[in-house]
Amino acid sequence: MSSEETIITISLDFLDVHFAEVILKSLEPENKQIDEKSKIEMTLENQKLLIKFSSLSSLSTIRNTIDDIFNTISTSENIYITVKRKKN
């Protein structure tokens, strides 16, 4: 267990605001699944999504959480692109 807080900030630029909003909404369940030693704050500034993750957990737990976030983003991105192609 880590005795110091680890803070990670991720900034993601998307092509449009709607896409960024979809990704933000897809990440909401991640906020509910983190351990009690961690906190996620997500904000949207136009098409830029800012994710601030802070934790007192072990580095392996932090790495797993960040991996989950990126996996969710990747899956959401693939679904968004597929749906958008089918609409066009």
Domain boundaries, the chain: 6-87
> In three state form, how does the secondary structure of the chain look?
CCCCCEEEEEEEECCCHHHHHHHHHHHHHHHHHCCCCEEEEEEEECCEEEEEEEECCCHHHHHHHHHHHHHHHHHHHHHHHHHHHHHC
What percent of the chain is modeled with pLDDT above 90? 65
CATH, range 6-87: 3.30.310.50
pLDDT for the residue numbered 87: 81
Q: What is the pLDDT of residues 26-69, one digit of tens each?
A: 998 867 778 889 999 999 999 999 999 999 999 998 999 899 99
pLDDT for the residue numbered 24: 94
Question: Mean pLDDT over residues 73-83, rounded?
Answer: 91
Q: What is the pLDDT of residues 2-19, one digit of tens each?
A: 479 999 999 999 988 999
pLDDT for the residue numbered 29: 82
Cβ contacts of residue 20 below 8 Å, gap of 6+? Answer: 12, 14, 44, 46, 47, 48, 49
pLDDT for the residue numbered 1: 47
pLDDT for the residue numbered 17: 93
